[in-house]
Structure 1
Amino acid sequence: MNIAVSQSLASDRSGEATARPIADIILRNGPIWCGRNEGVVEAVAIWQDRILASGRDADIASLAGPATRIIDLKGRLATPGLNDSHLHLISLGMMMDWVDAKPTTAPTLESLLSAIKERASKTRPGEWILARGYDQTKLDVERHPHRSELDQAAPDHPMMLVRTCGHISICNSKALELAGIDESSPTPPGGLIEQQNGRLTGLLAENARAPVWAVIPPPTQDELVAAIERGGRHLLSYGITSCMDAAVGQRGGFGEIAAYHRAKREGRLPVRTWLALLGDPDKTIVPQCYEAGLISGTGDDMLMVGAIKFFLDGSAGGRTAWMSKPYLGEDATTGVQMMSDDELNELVMDAHAKGYQLACHAIGDAAIEQLITAYERALAAFPDPNRRHRIEHSGFSTPEQHDRMVKAGIYPCPQQVFVYDFGDAYVSVLGEERGLKSYPFKTWINLGLKPATGSDAPVCEPDPFPNFYAMLTRKTWKGTVMDASECISIEEALQAYTEYGAFSQKMENVKGRLVPGQLADIAVFSRNLLTASPEDILDNTQCDLTIRGGSIVHDRLGVS
């Protein structure tokens, strides 16, 4: 037990050490995993919002006082609070009110259309109906829904159905009409307007969706704050105490910054949030943020400006991730390149020179190549060995690219749950040679690239247990093994979800481990993940208790 560090937490105004504080909360009687290097201890003490001490039960007991709350773990595992290092918090909260089109809810085209039809029956004619979560590779018809089918399900409403990846939308005729899209509309750079036999199918990809979003009523600030609160409470129920919102400004523009600060001010920000500012030229909020002094590191432990986000390509399952070699199929597509080299190089150089960290979306190997090159140019012009520019997703990176990432200090930030949810789709559109080797997590760890993990919610559920399962087994939901050589241990998986998540945000000295002085963010699970089978982790585990900053913020059983 580190008493010296514990004592540093209690000082009078002159800076002199005072008597050791008495713990507010002590957790005991169960394994407490403090970090990959720290291992398991018997008990941990919390004082105010920090870890006071951790160690043997007998030693920690000496820190208890009459008012100390003792939490009996009863053999359950406690870990640092999880850090979902890439999701969309506002979108998650807002889409919890949309039609649920996920395969688990609507596995057939008929059930999907029925859910849309039911929502239409309860919605005033002319109002928008929005749905998200379908995956054509998991639908019984194994294709995208068609515009005409959405017309039949919602004939009196403009309707948009978003694929699970968030990069493809299917719109009905009323939505396309409002957006001004018809058979003569030119395809925008970095986009796709699909036609078959000279007729719109309703499928829009990437930048082609912008006219539709432009005519959907934007959320009010009240709705944005409610979404932050609703989505954040959902995260707490899984033991997630920190996250990155990966594209702030996507729906509400600069108003999303105001909404986050209002949520924090009103006590309605449930999770520690690291903001990635949307920087895409057509809807960037970066100039307003920079003018206001909001650069990387601005804020505090609860709400901080993190990085700038550019989108370089789409999704592999949607065949829009930018690949160096074509997808399978007759169209020989290599996906969608969102920006030219010159445009990206200029944007990255400008953001880097202004002091921003960058966290850019690149899934295909061609997009990753473009991004690494832009990062290398910026780092050569303005050296900063600790900037920690990130490649979000980085699904199909190559060994040569890994070597360059190590040399330049560029870090992958993947979502291993993609292996579980979308692995079979990757194989179907890319073949086994490329598909099975996607998201090479063990390789990244061995190279010292400290990969974090997350869910990309609402692309996937923020539920961490499929993510753990994928890291441990490399199995998809259908049981396909996606290159078993990339499996990792549960300790490595926990480190990715905690310490590496903090590292990706330059906050590894603030959170991510249960050591004296770090934030008292703790998750307690219903079973011991260190000894449980991957199948039990996937199917039979829940988060029983979540502590954020020394306060209990989720108590599933209501007895702690």
Structure 2
Amino acid sequence: MPTPVADLVLRGGPVHTLAGPGAATALAIRSGRVLRVGADADIRGLIGPGTDIVDLAGRAVIPGINDAHLHATWLGALWPDTLFGDHPDPRRPLCSPEERRAAILGAGDLLARLGITSYTEPGLGPGEDEGPTGAFGMSVVRQYRALAAEGLLRARVTALWLYGELDGPSTLADLRAGLTRVDGSGSDRKTLNFAGVKIFADGIPPMRSAYTHHCYADGSRAELLVAGEDDAEREENLTAMILAAHHAGLQVGVHATGDRAIDLVLDAVERARAERDVDLRHYVIHGDMVNPMQLKRMARLGVGLSTQAGIAVQTSDAVSAVLGAERAESTWPLRDVLDIGIPLCLTSDAPVLSPDWRREIAAADEWMGPADNPRDRMETLLRCYTVHPARQDGAETWKGTLAEGMVADLCVLAADPLAVTAAELPDVDVDLTVLGGRVVYER
């Protein structure tokens, strides 16, 4: 049988597959997948006259970055502004299909320059058809489907359906109705996959809208965003929403920041798994006030966490002011999350923050404090942007690492990320981004 010839070879620098210990120095790609990983000599026989060769010259290869919580359409409308930046008008409404298409494409170009090959749009659907931004309704869904069909998406997209308002109320009736009439068909699921449902349980601590077991420092309390006559009915409706999505075979990502909201989510997931024991990769979004007992339950139930270290760093003073210093010190326990073994996805929540994953890794390292082994810490944090998001997507069998047979989604960095400090990482350039074996960005 003839030896296969590679379409693309990268050689002459560290190749961090994140599929196991150690690093290779060369990688061969054929038909959009990793053909072989090894030393330069292992790849030499796969090079033919039509093979494109990238001389790394010491530069490093890592799997493509996967931002598991990024509002790309909104980002494309606002960039270069961010909500934590110059405080632009967050609405800037997208009023036409053409504007929404341009926003998605603009975000795709930006993300390709950052080495991002996958992302999650966490909340698109009829709940935002009349929304003030124009960046989350069904018109956006139609644009995504059109771009996927035309082969113009610059990254793999996972999306969650939204049957309520962004950062606002939702009803059990609307979610149940939505589950009966909206599907995820019409595209290659490796390109565009409507994987589940987004539910807003509560708000955020700085706005005193996180649903907590205790009052805020000023004596106030928050309510769930889910509609209901009182706390008991709202809690019952949130539980019913999670159960309905689970029984429909859909993943649930719940925006839950307060400890009481997180308890409700875990209670519902535990009940759902008891009634239908299938792991749909449900996860908590943000999880600011998650506590040690809840982390143990999350690990047992297979519930992931999608969170933003940059928000933790930038809002720490505001959180202390509303929660009190003692309770604020226990928020965003990233070190405990990783120690317990919960699949942690570090994300940007762009355009809340910049989509630059290098900054988020630096923020996570800062928040966690000094590391015993900085190199191991860096590899762990890289997994939070590659391996763990692939699991959240239910796609760990085909993306997230550079093991042989996996899709060839990768980026080339100007320096080895395991040889620099986390604080230095934001200054390391992305030189090349490859999606499915195709170069989508070259610096």
TM-score between both structures, scaled by the size of structure 2: 0.88
Answering whether residue 224 of structure 2 is matched by residue 266 of structure 1, we say no
| Alpha-carbon spacing, 1:286–1:230, altered in 2? closer, same or farther (3 Å) | farther
Answering whether residue 141 of structure 2 is matched by residue 232 of structure 1, we say no
Write out aligned runs for 1:538-549 (5 A): 538=426, 540-549=427-436
Identify the residue that residue 251 of structure 2 maps to in structure 1. Answer: 357
- The CA distance in 2 between the partners of 1:401 and 1:222, in whole Å, is 44
Deviations 1:61-89 (A, max 9, x none): 11111111111112112100000011111
- The CA distance in 2 between the partners of 1:241 and 1:493, in whole Å, is 17
Identify the residue that residue 82 of structure 1 maps to in structure 2. Answer: 65
- The CA distance in 2 between the partners of 1:522 and 1:101, in whole Å, is 26
SS of the aligned residue for 1:65 comes to: coil
Unaligned runs of 5+ in 1: 1-17, 107-111, 113-129, 133-159, 161-215, 476-480
- Stretch of structure 1 that moved more, 50-59 or 18-27: 18-27
Answering whether residue 169 of structure 2 is matched by residue 276 of structure 1, we say no
1:268 maps to amino acid: L
CA contact (8 A) 1:454 1:497 kept: yes
| Cα RMSD, aligned residues only | 2.6
| Alpha-carbon spacing, 1:66–1:76, altered in 2? closer, same or farther (3 Å) | same
Deviation at 1:44, TM superposition (A): 0.5
Identify the residue that residue 512 of structure 1 maps to in structure 2. Answer: 400
Identify the residue that residue 141 of structure 2 maps to in structure 1. Answer: 257
| Alpha-carbon spacing, 1:379–1:59, altered in 2? closer, same or farther (3 Å) | same
| Alpha-carbon spacing, 1:359–1:62, altered in 2? closer, same or farther (3 Å) | same
Q: Select the residue among 302, 313, 318 that pairs with 1:425.
A: 318
Write out aligned runs for 1:47-58 (5 A): 47-58=30-41
Write out aligned runs for 1:26-425 (5 A): 26-35=9-18, 37-96=20-79, 100=81, 104=85, 106=86, 131-132=89-90, 219-249=95-125, 250=128, 251=134, 252-280=136-164, 281=170, 287=177, 290-294=180-184, 299-328=188-217, 330=218, 332-339=219-226, 340-384=234-278, 386-425=279-318
Deviation at 1:286, TM superposition (A): 7.2
Deviation at 1:367, TM superposition (A): 1.2
1:469 maps to amino acid: A
Unaligned runs of 5+ in 2: 129-133, 165-169, 227-233
TM-score between both structures, scaled by the size of structure 1: 0.70
Identify the residue that residue 120 of structure 1 maps to in structure 2. Answer: none
| Alpha-carbon spacing, 1:400–1:418, altered in 2? closer, same or farther (3 Å) | same
| Alpha-carbon spacing, 1:437–1:39, altered in 2? closer, same or farther (3 Å) | farther
- The CA distance in 1 between the partners of 2:259 and 2:355, in whole Å, is 26
- Stretch of structure 1 that moved more, 84-93 or 466-475: 466-475
Q: Select the residue among 410, 413, 419 that pairs with 1:525.
A: 413
Answering whether residue 366 of structure 2 is matched by residue 473 of structure 1, we say yes
- The CA distance in 1 between the partners of 2:291 and 2:252, in whole Å, is 21
- The CA distance in 2 between the partners of 1:362 and 1:519, in whole Å, is 33
1:260 maps to amino acid: Y
Deviation at 1:248, TM superposition (A): 1.0
Deviation at 1:493, TM superposition (A): 0.6
Q: Select the residue among 538, 541, 551 that pairs with 2:438.
A: 551
- The CA distance in 2 between the partners of 1:74 and 1:286, in whole Å, is 55
Give the total of aligned pairs: 421
Deviation at 1:424, TM superposition (A): 3.4
Identify the residue that residue 333 of structure 2 maps to in structure 1. Answer: 440
Does 1 or 2 have the higher relative contact order (CA < 8 Å, sep 6+)?
2
- The CA distance in 1 between the partners of 2:212 and 2:63, in whole Å, is 37
- The CA distance in 1 between the partners of 2:57 and 2:285, in whole Å, is 38
Answering whether residue 422 of structure 2 is matched by residue 534 of structure 1, we say yes
| Alpha-carbon spacing, 1:368–1:298, altered in 2? closer, same or farther (3 Å) | farther
1:270 maps to amino acid: R
- The CA distance in 2 between the partners of 1:532 and 1:237, in whole Å, is 21
From the CA coordinates, give the structure whose radius of gyration is larger: 1
2:71 maps to amino acid: H
Deviation at 1:383, TM superposition (A): 2.0
SS of the aligned residue for 2:407 comes to: coil
| Alpha-carbon spacing, 1:299–1:334, altered in 2? closer, same or farther (3 Å) | farther
CA contact (8 A) 2:270 2:301 kept: yes
| Alpha-carbon spacing, 1:57–1:391, altered in 2? closer, same or farther (3 Å) | same
- The CA distance in 1 between the partners of 2:161 and 2:344, in whole Å, is 21
- The CA distance in 2 between the partners of 1:217 and 1:273, in whole Å, is 22
SS of the aligned residue for 2:263 comes to: helix
CA contact (8 A) 1:44 1:55 kept: yes
CA contact (8 A) 2:77 2:94 kept: no
Deviation at 1:326, TM superposition (A): 2.8
CA contact (8 A) 1:79 1:523 kept: yes
SS of the aligned residue for 2:10 comes to: strand
- The CA distance in 1 between the partners of 2:55 and 2:220, in whole Å, is 57
| Alpha-carbon spacing, 1:51–1:358, altered in 2? closer, same or farther (3 Å) | same
CA contact (8 A) 1:274 1:305 kept: yes
Structure 1 runs, 4 residues or longer, greater than 6 Å off: 483-488
- The CA distance in 2 between the partners of 1:85 and 1:239, in whole Å, is 14
- The CA distance in 2 between the partners of 1:46 and 1:23, in whole Å, is 5
SS of the aligned residue for 1:294 comes to: coil
Identity of aligned residues (%): 31
CA contact (8 A) 1:229 1:269 kept: yes
